[in-house]
Structure 1
Amino acid sequence: MKRLTAKLVFMGSQGVGKSSIITRYIKGDYKMDCEATIGASFMYAKVMIQDYQITLKVWDTAGQERFRSLVPMYYRNADAVAIIFDVSDRESYDQVKYWINEVRKNTDTPVVYYVVGNKTDLVSSRKVTYDEAKEFANYVNAHYWETSACANTGILDLFTNVGKNLIHMIESERPPTNLKLEVDSEDLPSNTKVNSSTYCCNV
């Protein structure tokens, strides 16, 4: 078994459903009236893909204007960033570019970017189309995903896809030094010598 630990940060405007997406995946729960996040909150999420057990340290950042100066301390050293917008709120979509630019200005390690359109259950009040958002995500070199925390659609696939892209990074010729990988000793080649039960790529 290979164990990978990574940092995933959720960002976006207030009320787009960041907390609801995270809670839906981790706890399988959904609340119609979710309290606004103050500063940031932190949870662990598990993703199993083939012989990888991935532990995501998930940071849920506040979207209110008064907390924006604090957000950089939470996405520092992030391995993946998900910028969420509400498909029924064009203003929240217009803010996505701001969040992406902020991360790119303040990080110097490889980051997997996701643009996520949430609340797709609000079909009749939708303001941002799939094609428009997908084209923008391609333009900024990000993955595009659509979810509904209320209807519980796209949530599992989103976290699974994040895990797959992190595996792709760690298996590349030049894996990021900030990603932590541990391998059970029985999975190592027979000619590999280790002094403990695990092997870490950062050592």
Structure 2
Amino acid sequence: LNIAIIGDCGVGKTTFALRYIQQQYVEDTTATIRCSFYKKIVDHSQGQIQVQIWDTAGQEQYRSLAPQFYRKSDFVVVMFDLTEKQGYENCKKWLRDVQNEENQLPIYVIGSKFDCTRGDVNMIEQFEIPNGVNKVMLTSSRTGYNVNELFEIIIEQYLNMPQTQKAITYVD
């Protein structure tokens, strides 16, 4: 199961990936150059599943590299910073890039740094769910809010895809 995480620089992609992989908050991360790769074996009722995460660079000079990583993915997570005024608008640009690809991938939109907001879970209602997006979720890497839940949803969707759409990797 391959998942690409894309979005602007500083939205928390690396911290989010590390929170899931290590199950702890990593305070200081450096900006990703090109792409980082993380792997985790997940125990599931159907067996062990290898989850691979491509953490892409968000800086403008590396933006053109993102497609080569999400084209190889089964899912794309587009992340934006809830504390940035332009965050969601910038997220829409990333979404358009993914949706312009021939291979229509399942997409999840994630608002990060929920712990830095007023903590109103109803704020999700202000973000429209664009066509082609499976779900919009609020998350916090610091507290772990909705981090594991997102990956559980993705794993379930992946396992329920028609066999022809996936090459499932079980680990013995």
1:82-106: CA deviation from partner (whole Å, max 9, x where unpaired): 0011111131211122112212223
1:162 is matched with: 154
Change (3 A) 1:74 1:52: same
Change (3 A) 1:145 1:47: farther
Residue 138 of structure 1: how far off its partner (Å): 5.0
Cα distance in 1 for residues equivalent to 2:151 and 2:136: 13
2:164 is matched with: 175
Change (3 A) 1:183 1:83: closer
| Total equivalences in the alignment | 171
Change (3 A) 1:88 1:53: same
Cα distance in 1 for residues equivalent to 2:41 and 2:82: 27
Change (3 A) 1:182 1:102: closer
1:153 is matched with: 145
Q: 1:67 and 2:59 equivalent?
A: no
Structural mapping, 1:1-203, within 5 Å: 6-108=1-103, 110-124=104-118, 129-133=123-127, 136-137=128-129, 139-169=131-161, 172=162, 175-176=164-165, 179-181=166-168
**Normalising to structure 2: TM-score of the pair?**
0.88
Q: Is the contact made by 1:112 and 1:165 (CA closer than 8 Å) also made in structure 2?
A: no
1:98-133: CA deviation from partner (whole Å, max 9, x where unpaired): 11221222342x42110001111012499x931022
Q: Is the contact made by 1:12 and 1:92 (CA closer than 8 Å) also made in structure 2?
A: no
Residue 34 of structure 1: how far off its partner (Å): 1.8
Residue 166 of structure 1: how far off its partner (Å): 0.4
Q: Is the contact made by 1:88 and 1:125 (CA closer than 8 Å) also made in structure 2?
A: no
Q: What is the DSSP-based 3-state SS (H/G/I as helix, E as strand, rest coil) of the residue aligned with 1:77?
A: coil
1:189 is matched with: none
1:191 is matched with: none
Change (3 A) 1:88 1:125: farther
Q: Is the contact made by 2:124 and 2:136 (CA closer than 8 Å) also made in structure 1?
A: no
Residue 72 of structure 1: how far off its partner (Å): 1.2
**Normalising to structure 1: TM-score of the pair?**
0.76
Deviates most, 43-52 or 56-65: 43-52
Cα distance in 2 for residues equivalent to 1:175 and 1:145: 28
- Output the aligned Cα RMSD: 2.4
Q: Which runs of 5+ in 1 are unaligned?
A: 1-5, 185-197, 199-203
Bigger CA radius of gyration: 1
